[in-house]
């Protein structure tokens, strides 16, 4: 009984420490070792129910908001940024070493160095029941529909409708998930 009480108190203390930094967990969560959750330069992070964050995964807002739905998991070494806003639906699986960045550098003006040009911050929306395989890259301005499978190593530079299997560099539709 004391062990259960200890776990409850420890979990609530962790939750309290996060909430002081605009990081919210709505329900149960499992956090691996070396995970970084940071509301750098403002913004907030909201995690839904039953979240799993693998070892050494990073969630950094860079001024934008990150919203993660219920029953989502992020395997080790994922990098998730918030710049222009990130919204992830329910039951999303993100495999190891995936990078999601809702921002992009401008480079058109040859008179100004790239590092001093403005960033685009369109944001990213990922639907529910999505599987993002290992090493995928999801870039600014992308909307991924419900039920999409993103193949390993893909670079997603444009939006895709629901129930598609996508892959490649840049990603394109490989097939439609039609239940057959």
Instruction: Give the alpha-carbon dihedral of 145, 62, 27, 78, to 10 degrees.
Output: 70
d(CA 26, CA 15): 9
Q: Contact at 8 Å (CB) between 63 and 45?
A: no
Does residue 116 carry a catalytic annotation? no
Residue position matching structure tokens 């964050």: 53
Ramachandran category for residue 147: left, alpha or beta (phi over 0 → left; psi -120 to 50 → alpha)? left
Which residue is catalytic, options 7, 105, 158, 177?
Answer: 105
Residue 53 CA to residue 174 CA, distance in Å, equals 29
Contact 132, 145 (CB under 8 A): no
Scanning the structure block, which residue is given the tokens 């550098």?
Answer: 105
List residues with catalytic annotation.
105
């Amino acid at each position: 009984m004391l062990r259960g009480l200890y776990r409850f108190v420890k979990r609530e203390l962790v939750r309290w420490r996060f909430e002081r930094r605009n990081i919210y967990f709505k329900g149960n969560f499992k956090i691996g070792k070396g995970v970084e959750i940071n509301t750098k330069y403002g913004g907030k992070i909201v995690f839904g129910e039953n979240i799993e964050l693998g070892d050494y995964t990073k969630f950094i807002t860079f001024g934008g908001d990150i919203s993660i739905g219920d029953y989502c998991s992020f395997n080790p070494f994922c990098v998730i940024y918030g710049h222009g806003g990130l919204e992830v639906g329910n039951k999303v699986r993100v495999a190891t070493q995936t990078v999601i960045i809702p921002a992009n550098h401008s480079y058109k003006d040859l008179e100004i160095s790239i590092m001093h040009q403005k960033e685009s911050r369109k944001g990213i929306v990922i639907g529910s029941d999505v599987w993002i395989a290992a090493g995928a890259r999801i870039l600014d301005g992308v909307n991924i529909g419900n039920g999409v499978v993103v193949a390993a190593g893909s670079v997603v530079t444009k939006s895709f409708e629901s129930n598609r299997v996508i892959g490649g560099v840049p990603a394109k539709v490989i097939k439609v998930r039609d239940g057959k």
